[in-house]
Structures are given as structure tokens and as C-alpha cells.
Chain A
């Protein structure tokens, strides 16, 4: 190992090049993983907080015409089941109703969410996103709409809007209510179509007091998509306890776009990183190959005095191992430093030009980086593996030299 280490110092420029060939892919991979995790985390957070929760209990009846969720027969039983299962951090009842909102001659199809403001406020970010007016109050008659819908309806806080709720099980209900707050949605489509009202008002529109379409629950200790197992365990427990009249769905089932995102984005990232790793591997191969060519005479002597071919191969591989360990270690450490820095400053603000694009995707224009110790270690080890794979070719060449011919070699 000492010999390999000294060889690296002997051709410093080449060693630095090899080091960079390992360092850069590891740095980029860790940052890429960090961004991917950040994106996933952001998407997860938005999805579970705005829409799905970690899990929902719904009626097992098929979704009714128009996409309306079936009304639950006995929400109290579902709530009781949830309260009996350990690990539930919080739960609330919700009534999701396809509806129409109109003001003057303008109208828009919406998803009306009837919520319990004092409960939902603990997790729903809509209360915090209200930029005009105020959030809902329990038993209040107000409506909270998104900024896009406000513009569409030309409505302001205090203006009356007409709500028309339609559910196949109960018919059509109508009510007039004032806009009490306007929120800034993380994505434009949500700002156009999501409207929140107090559960009581939604039940009035559904023409059924006490009607609920979902019990939304959050599981303790779940902070991101990596905690899917915890959610899965609670879901399995609930499925075992609840009668067949109920369906228990986790956030992946409720928002398949989360899985779709992973399925679409991950292969792109893998392809992208694969190219970087291959390029890194080619540089390692090239520099080590040159090193072997330059040392042909010396390797010939080593073989001549009796070194086994395996030993010569090991010498070259050892050099590759050392330099790739250093490069990967430094790359991973540098990337980790950047991730920690990005977390400390609350994320990296993307240029303003990207604002609309990321908002369409339901994300904030702030790039969050998240990376685990395992991902950090695996990124480094993956590049070490690629470097060793690349080094195998020059190592094999070194081992296959014929001593007499190699000793004739002059640089």
C-alpha cells in the first residue's frame, strides 16, 4: 500500500486528474440525490398536508358519478377505530364535495373541502398561506379561496359567492357565503380549484348533516416518503380492525402522482448520474493506463524478479483504490458540507425565472437538499466501485506484461 501511495505522489498531476474524476461524480451524485430527496420531500409535504394526510379512511362504496367520494355511513366507528390504533398522531373528519362556485356571471368547478378549522389548522398549511383576510373559524359561514380563483371570480375578501354542491347520494345543495380569506396555493391548479369551508357549511351543501367522506389521519414519526413503512403498519392494523364497509388508503394510493414522480424522475437521474460515472470511470481508466504504460519498464523488472501477476495487478488496483477512496471521501464530504450549508440557510433559492415552472409542479422555488448518511456512503462507494472496475483494464495489462519485453520499454 505504501508503494501505491508513493506512486500516486510520484505523478501528482495525473493523480489530481484521477482524483477529480472520482471527486466530481461523487459530489454531483450526492447533490443530485439531495435535490431529488428534497423534491420528493417537498412533494410529499404538499401532498399529505394539502390533500391526503398520511392515510384516509373512506367508505368502501365505489366512487360515485362525477368523481364524488361516497359518504361514510358511520364516521364515528372509523374515528373510534383510529383512536384505538397506536401511532396515530392526529386525525380529523373531512367532507370533499364536487361543487361550483360563482360570483356575478363567473363560475368555476371546484373541490369543496369541508373541514374542522380548529383541527385541520394544526397541519393544513392553507391557514398559514392566507395572504388576504383570515382563515376559517369553527361554525363560521366563510369561504377560503385561492388567489387564482379570486382573480377568476374578480372577488375580494368580504364578497359573497354562491356555492353549489352536488353529490349523487344527496342531490344538489346551494348556499351563499362570504369570502373570508384568500390563500396563495403552491400550485396554480390548486389555487383555482380548492376551496375550504367549515364542515358544517359543506354538510349543508351536501344536504346531509353529519356527512363525511374521509377521515384524514397523520401517523406519528412520519416526516417523509422514507417513513412509508410506519404508515403501512398503521394501515394494515386499521384494515384488520375495520369492517369491510371501509377502505383504508395510504398517501401513495391517494396520490399516485407521488409514485409516478419517483418512477419518472428517478430513471432520468440514474441515467444522468450513470453518464457522469462512466465519464469518471473513463478518466480513471485513461490515467491509470497511461501510468501503466509509463511504468512498463519498472513493472517488467518487478515481474522479472519474481512478482506474481496477481501481485502486479493488485499494485495497480491498490493505487486505484487509494485514489478513489480519497476522491470519493473528499467528494462526499464536500457534498455533505454543501447539504448542511443549504439546510442551515433554509434551502437554495432558485433563480426567479424558475418560479413559475416549479410552482406548476407544486413545489417551492427553494431547492432543499436532503441526504442520508447511507446515501452519502453508497454514493462514494459506488464511484469507488466504478473506479476499480475501470482500473481493472490497466491492471490486467500490467499483469500480462512479458518481463523481457517490458524491460526493453523506454519512455
Chain B
């Protein structure tokens, strides 16, 4: 595992304002994520996990503080540039799969490549390759509503890793899956992490997933309460 920080935050603060009511979600989070890490952010509901992931994924902007992805500061980046950065450097896996229903499994898997402007032949080839890697190539021409939740989440993982992004951010990826499917998915992501050196960052409550990460960051009330390295894996 490389020790180079792919993602770094400095005193990250996020406060939601509704009318005159201010709700702090993050109260100064500073941490680094290194290339090839398989890291989970855990914590009770309302601890700021999702908020932190949104900020790290460039989906939202901090109230103060800074995020550096591959050395690039995100907080002042123009909206379009931020979209481009997400497209090129970040893969997303969402709790509810969030596949595009009118695209086939293969088209969903290759969707990011399509957005990146990769030629069709190459998209198909790379899409099929990643589907094969994740064991779902046989569903390539199916639409998402014809496959199970676990398979849909694999497609979501395929979509997240197909372009070999700098980091894959997954928000509760196993929350909607039963135990067997969760274990399969975790193994799959772990394999991608070790074989491709893909960097994974999760927000999760799932103990099965927490057992498999090599670093666990615990958030409580918008602050890092613990940052535990688990090198046993």
C-alpha cells in the first residue's frame, strides 16, 4: 500500500442553516486517506458520515475548511470543474444502487466512460471486462429491474470502478442487502481493493463490512472520535 495521501481534509466544518436555525454536521474534521486504503467511516446516526462523504465526493461544499483530492482544492472549485473532477477521479456507490433504469446492465456499467467521451467500442469492451470481473457479465443485456438487489449493487460497483478512479466512495453500500449478498459484495470490493489497488472509502454501520476494512474512522457529533488502523488484513 502506498502511503501517499490521495485525499486530505483540513478543519472541515459543515453547518446546515434552516431559517435562523444552524445545525452543525461537521465540526472540524481533519484526516488523510491514502492510496489503496480500504477505509470505513462509522458512527451513530447524525454523526456526520453522509455529510463527510458528500463533501469528500465533491457533491457539497464545506462551510469552512478545505478538501484536497490528488492535491486539488475542492471548496472553491467552479461547479463544472467539480463535475469533471467527480467524473474523472471519483467512483460512487450508493445505498439504493441508483442505476439508470433505461440503461442495460452493460450500459450502466459503462455509463461513466460514456460521460467521459470514451469511444463506444472501448466502452463496451471495458464495460464487459468489469462485469466479468464482478461475475455479472451474463446480465449485460438485462435492464436493472430484472436482476436482484445484490446484482444491482454489483453493477453499481462496476460503474464506480470501470474508469479506474482515484477513489471509490460508497455510502452504506450493504444497507439494502441481505447477509449473503452483503458478504459477497464486501469480498468483491475487497478483491478490487487488493487486485486493482483501488482506494475505497465507506460510510457504514455494517459490522460485517467494518470487520473487513484496514482502517476505521469513527465520527461522533461531527468530530473524529477514533482513527484506527487495522493492518491485520
Q: Which residue of B lies closest to A303 (CB)?
A: B83
Contacting residues of chain A (289-347) with chain B, CB-CB under 8 angstroms: 297-298, 301-309, 311
Other-chain residue from B60, B79, B85, B112 in contact with A404 (beta carbon distance below 8 A): B60
Bound together, the chains give a CA A403 to CA B83 distance in angstroms of 10
Q: Which of A3, A303, A304, A311 has the most B CB atoms < 10 Å from its CB?
A: A304
A303 / chain B contacts, CB cutoff of 8 Å: 83
A301 / chain B contacts, CB cutoff of 8 Å: 94, 98, 100
Given contacts A10-B102, A298-B101, A404-B60, contact A306 B94 (CB under 8 A): no
Assess the A304–B92 pair: CB atoms within 8 A. yes
Contacting residues of chain B (45-60) with chain A, CB-CB under 8 angstroms: 54, 57, 59-60
Other-chain residue from B80, B101, B111 in contact with A305 (beta carbon distance below 8 A): B111
Other-chain residue from A2, A6, A10, A307 in contact with B83 (beta carbon distance below 8 A): A307
Bound together, the chains give a CA A297 to CA B92 distance in angstroms of 15
B161 CB within 8 Å of chain A: no
Q: Nearest Cβ distance between residue B160 and chain A, in whole angstroms?
A: 8
Assess the B59–A308 pair: CB atoms within 8 A. no
Assess the A404–B59 pair: CB atoms within 8 A. yes
A306 / chain B contacts, CB cutoff of 8 Å: 83-88, 90, 112, 115
A397 / chain B contacts, CB cutoff of 8 Å: none
A305 / chain B contacts, CB cutoff of 8 Å: 86-87, 92, 111-112, 115, 159
Given contacts A304-B86, A404-B60, A407-B94, contact A309 B79 (CB under 8 A): yes
Extra contacts, 13 of them, besides A7-B102, A303-B83 (Cβ < 8 A), are: A6-B102, A10-B101, A10-B102, A304-B57, A304-B59, A305-B159, A306-B83, A306-B88, A307-B87, A307-B115, A308-B87, A309-B80, A404-B54
Bound together, the chains give a CA A305 to CA B59 distance in angstroms of 9
A308 / chain B contacts, CB cutoff of 8 Å: 80, 83-84, 87, 115
Q: Which residue of B lies closest to A8 (CB)?
A: B102
Bound together, the chains give a CA A261 to CA B181 distance in angstroms of 76
A298 / chain B contacts, CB cutoff of 8 Å: 98, 100-101
Contacting residues of chain A (262-305) with chain B, CB-CB under 8 angstroms: 297-298, 301-305
Label chain A's interface by main secondary structure: helix
Label chain B's interface by main secondary structure: helix
A302 / chain B contacts, CB cutoff of 8 Å: 100
B98 / chain A contacts, CB cutoff of 8 Å: 297-298, 301, 407
A304 / chain B contacts, CB cutoff of 8 Å: 57, 59, 86, 92
Bound together, the chains give a CA A6 to CA B159 distance in angstroms of 20
Interface residues of B (CB under 8 A from A): 54, 57, 59-60, 79-80, 83-88, 90, 92, 94, 98, 100-103, 107, 111-112, 115, 159
Bound together, the chains give a CA A297 to CA B101 distance in angstroms of 12
A3 / chain B contacts, CB cutoff of 8 Å: 100, 102-103, 107
Q: Which residue of B lies closest to A403 (CB)?
A: B59
Question: A3-43 vs B: 1/0 string, CB under 8 Å?
Answer: 10011001000000000000000000000000000000000
Q: Please report the total number of A residues contacting B with Cβ < 8 Å.
A: 20
Q: Nearest Cβ distance between residue A345 and chain B, in whole angstroms?
A: 45
B107 / chain A contacts, CB cutoff of 8 Å: 2-3
Q: Nearest Cβ distance between residue B5 and chain A, in whole angstroms?
A: 22
Q: Nearest Cβ distance between residue B101 and chain A, in whole angstroms?
A: 7
B90 / chain A contacts, CB cutoff of 8 Å: 306
Q: Nearest Cβ distance between residue B31 and chain A, in whole angstroms?
A: 21
Contacting residues of chain A (171-191) with chain B, CB-CB under 8 angstroms: none
Q: Which residue of A lies closest to B50 (CB)?
A: A404
Q: Which residue of B lies closest to A10 (CB)?
A: B102
A2 / chain B contacts, CB cutoff of 8 Å: 107
Bound together, the chains give a CA A259 to CA B70 distance in angstroms of 72
Contacting residues of chain A (141-155) with chain B, CB-CB under 8 angstroms: none
A309 / chain B contacts, CB cutoff of 8 Å: 79-80, 83
B87 / chain A contacts, CB cutoff of 8 Å: 305-308
Bound together, the chains give a CA A391 to CA B102 distance in angstroms of 20
Q: Which residue of B lies closest to A312 (CB)?
A: B83
Q: Which residue of A lies closest to B82 (CB)?
A: A306
Bound together, the chains give a CA A404 to CA B111 distance in angstroms of 19
Q: Which residue of B lies closest to A307 (CB)?
A: B115
Bound together, the chains give a CA A237 to CA B54 distance in angstroms of 78
Top 8 closest pairs, chain A to chain B, by CB: A306-B87, A6-B102, A306-B86, A301-B98, A404-B59, A403-B59, A307-B115, A308-B83
A307 / chain B contacts, CB cutoff of 8 Å: 83, 87, 115
